Chain A
Amino acid sequence: MPLLSAIIFSPLVGAICILFLPQRKKNTVRIIALLFSALSLLLTCGILFHFNPDMPGMQFVERMWWIPSFGIQYVVGIDGMSMVLLMLSAFLSVVAVICSFAVEERIKEYFFFFLLLETGLYGVFCALDFFLLYVFWNVNLVTIYFLIGIGGGARREFAALKFFLFAFCGSAALLLGMLGMYFFSEPHTFDLLILSQKALQFQGLEAVIIFCAIYGGCAVIIPAFPFHTWLPLAHREAPIAVSIMMVGVFVKTGIYVILRVCYAILPHIAQHFSSILVILALFNIVYGALVALAQKNLKDIAAYATFIHMGYCMLGIASLSVAGFNGAVFHLFNHGIFIAAFLLLIGILYERTHTLRIEDFGGIRVRVPIIAGFMAVVTLSAIGMPGLSVFISEFLCLLGVFPIYTFAAVVGVLGILITASFFLRMLERVFWGSLNPRWITLPDIRVKELYTLTPLILTLIVLGLYPKLILHILNQSMVYLQGLIR
């Protein structure tokens, strides 16, 4: 039973169905999109039950010859790391589709590209052949370009173009790295598992260049300093649901590909460069925190929060320790959850007030106590308050890096302090204080908005108290990965 292929391609089937529907049947389009996304979510839960966390290798592997002339196969499979990210994708896809119901214009094209994006994301996380991964990676780029352009704000064309050009440069670097890996391996292959087993054949300058090419290509997506400038603009101009997919799932593919390709296949180079990678991660944290202090728009805060937290993930993976790897991937999951919740809350506020500038708000806690409560949980989670899941993952990242680069861990903690300052300032200015007279009649949360919000908040709390649920799935694959590096 090809479960993984069913998960990957069911949104594609939905997209094709939508293509044949007439333009005016808006509700049918929405329901079909929700149906196929929920189908993938259900199948993912099904896989979760049959997933064996104690086995370090790939599970649910499916193979089929695609382009034998180049030795390219359609091969998909998951291990712990992919499983966790697959769950994140499936969960956030359904949340984002429900959030997309607010879109009124050009619904057919919007949901068509949205479902294609889901297929691309599932594909990236499951692909075990570099060429296949590259194909899905580019599908992501094209669909996000169209999504930002179709549904976005005033400067959406420029934002979409900037995003695409940056990401396409990264994709070009990835192509060069991919070809390099193919031609420097004996025998020539794109299969990631075989390449990983024969990792030691890559030596010398060529291996370094391949590593830099692939890392550089992924660095645009992470987003790493200094290739991150597409993120604030694209994030601001994209509709809320697309933002959720973009910062919730899409940017995770960057770190995932680094782990799956660079670290598994070129571990000796990764070891060689670990200090430089740590410094790059610190750039993310420090620069991101300082710039975020100056932000006046709620969506920009979300963008820079992503930027900073991805810095923590980079720190975790640069530490080359089991704790660091566990922390990094767990952090990818947690970040996805809390940023989705944050964006949902921002969307709720925007729908009522049509503004996202912090200074326009003030003291609305008295009018929207439930929203304030949820926002408080999300803020505490973004800061890394113990009791919520983000603390565990941030702690693990810093724990991994502390023995090796203590200085980096210290800077990381300082970064947490600055993050705390701007997040709490945002919370205080928006919700506390005296009520801004504009919002005297602000309505509180509606029941239908709770459907998507509550599971996210619950996840943050439950994983904060019992992180083993995710860490258990993750651990074996991270131990295996770390073993490769020794």
Chain B
Amino acid sequence: MNLCLFYPEMILLVSAVICLMWPRRQNSFFAKVNPLFIALIGIFISALWVMYADGNTGVMKALFITDSLTFFCRILILLCTGLTLLNGFRYVHQEEIRSFCCLLLCAALGSMVISGTQDFILLFIGLEIISISLSLLIGYQKKAPYGSEEAIKFFIMSACASAIMVFGISFIYAYAGTTNGVILQGIEKIPHAPAVLLTVGFLFVLVGIALKLGVVPFHAWIPDTFEATSPLLTGFLSTAPVVGIMAVLIRMVSACNNYLDYHITVIVVILAVATISFGNLAALFQKSLIRLLAYSTIAHVGYMLVGIIIGIPRGVEAVLVYLMAYILMNIGIFTMVEVLRGKATLFRVEDCAGLAKRSLISAFLFSVFLLSLIGMPLTAGFIGKFYICAAAFETHHIGLSVAVVINIVISAYYYLHIVHQIFFVSPTSEASISIPKTAGFTVVICGIGILIIGFFPELFITIARYTVRILL
């Protein structure tokens, strides 16, 4: 049993347990050290292991594979988690810190597991780890008004998603006789098993995944969840699980290109276009800033779905590049919202008013994120969207490309509305904005990362291409 493949995840697990059991005794050594530091150290060691341990690629009994895609996703997930933990220094209450760290690390662990999984059972386990950790995380703040309600909603939704997915897995098991090695290798069927079993099973698994991602029409939980939980968690919630699930979709697509039923492709195309369009159109009418960003997240997931449809190799490269841009944009902007929100619970777009007069540097960073979300050249968001459109053109999916471009224009309207509030409207409150050091560090890293990817995308495009080339 080649358990050493799982060491990065196990390091995270050990850190999670240590954080959870960090003693509360006052006046001791333990009171001086914040469990967040332990969690950060855990992430750091895990990342080091991922990058430098030898014998790193291998397959564990067709259950788990550590290839280039797993490497890529692990690094991205660890980055997301690290940035969210940095935010936690200021914004997580002292009593709740242990559970926060433990659950965050567990959710990261689950995401890393599904990014390398080869087997449907392990996929299910990983998704359950993510769901349970996240539903607890959504409700961890005792004082949040809708926290517990939303946690229960999210838990029930994930349970439904998992149930549907297990149903689909059972069909695939009936077709193939095994759940092992199904995702990457070709499926060899049991003699006399009808092909419709595979199609139906696949469809149910797809629905389960769509529910987790927030694809239209399974998106209804996203705006409510994003609004009820604290923005720094929203940053994590919208990025780390999405990275893992995209890895799963990539593996499915690369395996199933040959015998995927034509109808499933049509269904996914419709879902993708619906997701992008609905996400953007709904965001046009939102008054609450967080709900607006939630709908825009739905739209971004739709863009990545377009990349999945396009397939290997260009579409998958596009998805990887877009993921890199997406996590920086989302974590950055949700951290900014957390900083600006202060004590208020409802954050309307008008509450950003006059940010440029209150703090020019916050306004500047905020607009970098917004311009990147629109897809302005010289930002990471443009490189992602450009790659997706280019991939669509190359494989003659010109209609998809046109749909993406039209939606970019629609999305410009509501992002500009926020920019307009920041720069051109007088401030409603004169309170000065102070960005705490750690959250500021996160925001600056995301901002600089976005600009670097925008100005010098070559390195990142090469990383994505190399990952996909090795994957094949």
Residues on A close to B: CB < 8 A?
Answer: 66-70, 109, 134-135, 138-139, 142, 145-146, 149-150, 156-157, 160-161, 164-165, 168-169, 172, 175-176, 179-180, 182-183
B424 with A150: CB separation less than 8 A = yes
Other-chain residue from A66, A70, A109, A168 in contact with B409 (beta carbon distance below 8 A): A168
* Chain A contact residues: helix, strand, loop or mixed: helix
B406 with A149: CB separation less than 8 A = no
A182 with B390: CB separation less than 8 A = yes
A169 vs B374: C-alpha distance in the bound complex, in angstroms? 13
Query: Which A residues lie within 8 Å of B389 (CB)?
Result: 175-176, 179
Query: Which A residues lie within 8 Å of B377 (CB)?
Result: 134-135, 138-139
Q: Output the nearest chain A residue to B363 by Cβ-Cβ distance.
A: A109
A314 vs B422: C-alpha distance in the bound complex, in angstroms? 39
Given contacts A138-B376, A146-B423, contact A69 B465 (CB under 8 A): yes
Q: Mark B377-390, 1 if CB is under 8 A from A, else 0.
A: 11000000010011
Distance from B414 Cβ to chain A, minimum over Cβ atoms (Å): 11
A60 vs B386: C-alpha distance in the bound complex, in angstroms? 30
Given contacts A156-B424, A182-B390, A183-B393, contact A172 B458 (CB under 8 A): no
A168 vs B405: C-alpha distance in the bound complex, in angstroms? 10
Q: Output the nearest chain B residue to A149 by Cβ-Cβ distance.
A: B424
Q: Output the nearest chain B residue to A161 by Cβ-Cβ distance.
A: B416
Distance from A56 Cβ to chain B, minimum over Cβ atoms (Å): 31
A135 vs B409: C-alpha distance in the bound complex, in angstroms? 16
27 contacts between A and B (CB under 8 A): A66-B458, A67-B458, A67-B461, A69-B462, A70-B461, A109-B356, A109-B360, A135-B378, A142-B376, A145-B416, A146-B423, A149-B420, A157-B420, A157-B424, A164-B412, A165-B409, A165-B416, A168-B412, A169-B409, A172-B408, A175-B389, A175-B405, A176-B389, A176-B402, A179-B389, A179-B390, A183-B390
Distance from A189 Cβ to chain B, minimum over Cβ atoms (Å): 13
How many chain B residues sit at the interface, stated as a range, is: 20 to 34
Distance from A168 Cβ to chain B, minimum over Cβ atoms (Å): 5
Given contacts A138-B377, A149-B420, A150-B424, contact A176 B405 (CB under 8 A): yes
* Chain B contact residues: helix, strand, loop or mixed: helix
Given contacts A69-B461, A149-B423, contact A180 B409 (CB under 8 A): no
Distance from B67 Cβ to chain A, minimum over Cβ atoms (Å): 21
Other-chain residue from B378, B402, B420, B457 in contact with A139 (beta carbon distance below 8 A): B378
B96 interfacial contact with A, CB 8 Å: no
Q: Output the nearest chain A residue to B385 by Cβ-Cβ distance.
A: A175
Query: Which B residues lie within 8 Å of A156 (CB)?
Result: 424
A164 with B393: CB separation less than 8 A = no
Given contacts A67-B457, A69-B465, A156-B424, contact A172 B401 (CB under 8 A): no
B371 interfacial contact with A, CB 8 Å: yes
Distance from A104 Cβ to chain B, minimum over Cβ atoms (Å): 15
Q: Output the nearest chain A residue to B357 by Cβ-Cβ distance.
A: A106
Given contacts A168-B409, A169-B409, A179-B390, contact A68 B458 (CB under 8 A): yes
A69 vs B386: C-alpha distance in the bound complex, in angstroms? 13
B413 interfacial contact with A, CB 8 Å: yes
Query: Which B residues lie within 8 Å of A183 (CB)?
Result: 390, 393-394
Query: Which A residues lie within 8 Å of B462 (CB)?
Result: 69
A35 vs B348: C-alpha distance in the bound complex, in angstroms? 42
Other-chain residue from B371, B394, B406 in contact with A172 (beta carbon distance below 8 A): B406
A68 vs B462: C-alpha distance in the bound complex, in angstroms? 9
A179 with B393: CB separation less than 8 A = yes
A145 vs B367: C-alpha distance in the bound complex, in angstroms? 13
A164 with B416: CB separation less than 8 A = yes
Query: Which B residues lie within 8 Å of A66 (CB)?
Result: 458
A70 vs B318: C-alpha distance in the bound complex, in angstroms? 13
Distance from B410 Cβ to chain A, minimum over Cβ atoms (Å): 10
Q: Mark B303-336, 1 if CB is under 8 A from A, else 0.
A: 0000000000000000000000000000000000
Q: Mark B341-370, 1 if CB is under 8 A from A, else 0.
A: 000000000000000100010000000000
Q: Output the nearest chain B residue to A67 by Cβ-Cβ distance.
A: B458
A172 with B409: CB separation less than 8 A = yes
Which 3 residue pairs spanning A and B have beta carbons closest together?
A135-B377, A149-B424, A69-B461
Distance from B216 Cβ to chain A, minimum over Cβ atoms (Å): 22
A138 vs B356: C-alpha distance in the bound complex, in angstroms? 22
Given contacts A69-B462, A157-B420, A157-B424, contact A180 B393 (CB under 8 A): yes
Q: Output the nearest chain A residue to B402 by Cβ-Cβ distance.
A: A176
Distance from A400 Cβ to chain B, minimum over Cβ atoms (Å): 35
A139 vs B356: C-alpha distance in the bound complex, in angstroms? 20
Query: Which A residues lie within 8 Å of B408 (CB)?
Result: 172
A156 vs B406: C-alpha distance in the bound complex, in angstroms? 25
